[in-house]
């Protein structure tokens, strides 16, 4: 463990409230998973750190001063983390001494500005949180600050844990959610665009490790899709080592162009991709397939067509973006950090030839059109897929 002393900066990682909505029997498993994922994320950085659990819902991370900022940034990308606070520990052996220490540490921050003191306290003390807030406030007013409890320019945050007290130097918001690995594995379609990437991120945020399946129609687009997936997992994937399945779908596309009416090709392509993904999921003992469908966004995502796709396979289909407008999905992509990459995605799935397409074909009509594609073409595409660890992929490898 890295040695620290009073006055040294440390990082406190507070776990998500989602974890503590679980039963007492489930919580330890969730906390252990979050601890392991945080450790894995920090190990990848090669930074000298030590992590220990303090209390029921918090970890203490110690590191050399120059490593604190990158360590805190890494911790904000671990699912199950609610907040990451860089703190300094102060003496807590007396109300006035603690108030003096807090004021000395924060006086420069509040001089000439409005401020509020927020105190969170656990354990037994002979004084109340309000007592400490008032005494710190008196000292900071004397140092040139002005109290404003609503919408202050500076918030002086103090946390007292038993006989330890901490002043928050910098507060970072974590992603929340559940730690990856606390839920079951899913198979997520990935195209490299906004929707499929955000859908995978959302399932990761709910604790699901992800495998990816990409349907290759051009090599350049495949490289782009895998680059986006790799970027996603490099930042947010602590706790998983995802496998990728690349399915060469050009022969299926050619069969659709030759054998299926142009108005039906889009929905048929959607069904065939989903059937292939479901086959892979079943083979891999994965219980659900994830797509980036948003209701009504394109012709293959109208309600009748989404229902038809669901009926075409036996594996459940999860659609975390179903009710989101495109603008919201793009906002999420910005938060995830993949928006600029996804904006470069090319449309390679338009098989309509520029003509009209159906938006409400019945299940039987769709099934009949899909049946025009020889089963051998589909079977060969799935059987000859390339499967590898995402971490092993390099641009041009396909």
Give the model's pLDDT for residue 349.
61
Percent with pLDDT over 70 in the chain:
95
What's 322's domain CATH number? Answer: 3.40.50.620
For residue 3, tell me if it sits in a domain: no
C-beta neighbour count of 150 within 10 angstroms: 6
Give the model's pLDDT for residue 348.
55
The residue segments making up the domain with residue 312 are 186-392
Res. 4: pLDDT tops 60: no
One domain, residues 86 and 210: no
**Residues 276, 245: contact at Cβ < 8 Å?**
no
For residue 32, tell me if it sits in a domain: yes
One domain, residues 123 and 257: no
For residue 398, tell me if it sits in a domain: no
Number of folded domains in the chain? 2
One domain, residues 115 and 254: no
Whole-model pTM? 0.90
One domain, residues 232 and 368: yes
Helix (H) or strand (E) holding 140: helix 129-142
* Integer CA distances (angstroms), 263 to 252, 323, 375, in order: 17, 26, 21
pLDDT (mean) for 59-87? 94
One domain, residues 13 and 134: yes
For residue 397, tell me if it sits in a domain: no
One domain, residues 155 and 81: yes
The angle at the Cα of 92, spanning 86 to 93, to the nearest 5 degrees, equals: 165
Q: Rounded to whole angstroms, how far apart are CA atoms 341 and 26?
A: 38
In tens, the pLDDT along 18-51 reads 999 999 899 999 999 999 999 999 998 888 899 9
| DSSP code string of 160-224 | EETTEEEEEEEEEEEEESB-TTSS--EEEE--SSHHHHHHHHHHHHBT--EEEEEEESSHHHHHH
Short-list 160, 152, 36, CA closest to 92? 160
In tens, the pLDDT along 239-258 reads 999 999 999 999 999 999 99
Which of 155, 176, 197 finishes a domain? 176
* Integer CA distances (angstroms), 314 to 252, 257, 275, 321, 344, in order: 21, 27, 9, 21, 34
What's 166's domain CATH number? Answer: 3.30.2130.30
């Amino acid at each position: 463990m890295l040695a620290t002393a009073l006055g040294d900066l440390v990082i406190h990682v507070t776990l998500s409230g989602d974890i503590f909505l679980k039963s007492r029997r489930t919580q330890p498993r969730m906390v252990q998973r979050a601890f392991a994922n945080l450790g894995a994320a920090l190990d990848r950085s090669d930074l000298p750190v030590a992590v220990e659990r303090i209390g029921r819902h918090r970890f203490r991370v110690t590191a050399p001063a120059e490593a604190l900022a990158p360590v805190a940034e890494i911790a904000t990308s671990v699912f199950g983390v609610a907040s990451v606070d860089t703190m300094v520990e102060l003496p807590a052996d007396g109300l006035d001494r603690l108030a003096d220490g807090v004021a000395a540490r924060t006086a420069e921050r509040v001089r000439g500005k409005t401020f509020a003191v927020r105190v969170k306290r656990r354990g037994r003390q002979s004084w109340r949180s309000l007592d400490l807030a008032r005494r710190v406030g008196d000292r900071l007013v004397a140092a040139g600050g002005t109290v404003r409890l609503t919408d202050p320019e500076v918030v002086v945050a103090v946390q007292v844990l038993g006989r330890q007290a901490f002043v928050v130097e910098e507060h970072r918001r974590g992603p929340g959610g559940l730690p990856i690995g606390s839920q079951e594995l899913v198979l997520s379609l990935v195209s490299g665009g906004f929707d499929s990437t955000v859908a995978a991120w959302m399932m990761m945020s709910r604790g699901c490790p992800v495998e990816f399946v990409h349907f290759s129609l051009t090599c350049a687009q495949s490289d782009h899709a895998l680059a986006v997936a790799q970027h996603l997992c490099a930042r947010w994937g602590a706790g998983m080592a995802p496998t990728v399945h690349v399915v060469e779908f050009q022969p299926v596309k050619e069969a659709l162009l030759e054998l299926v009416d142009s108005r039906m090709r889009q929905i048929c392509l959607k069904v065939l991709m989903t059937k292939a993904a479901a086959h892979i999921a079943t083979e891999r003992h994965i219980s659900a397939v994830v797509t980036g469908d948003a209701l009504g966004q394109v012709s293959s995502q109208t309600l009748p067509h989404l229902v038809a796709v669901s009926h075409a396979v036996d594996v459940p289909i999860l659609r975390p973006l179903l009710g989101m407008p495109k603008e919201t999905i793009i906002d999420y992509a910005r938060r995830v950090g993949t928006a600029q990459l996804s904006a470069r995605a090319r449309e390679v799935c338009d098989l309509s030839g520029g003509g009209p397409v159906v938006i409400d074909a019945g299940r039987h009509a769709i099934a009949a059109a899909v049946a025009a594609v020889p089963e051998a073409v589909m079977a060969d595409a799935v059987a000859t897929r390339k499967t590898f660890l995402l971490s092993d992929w390099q641009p041009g490898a396909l």
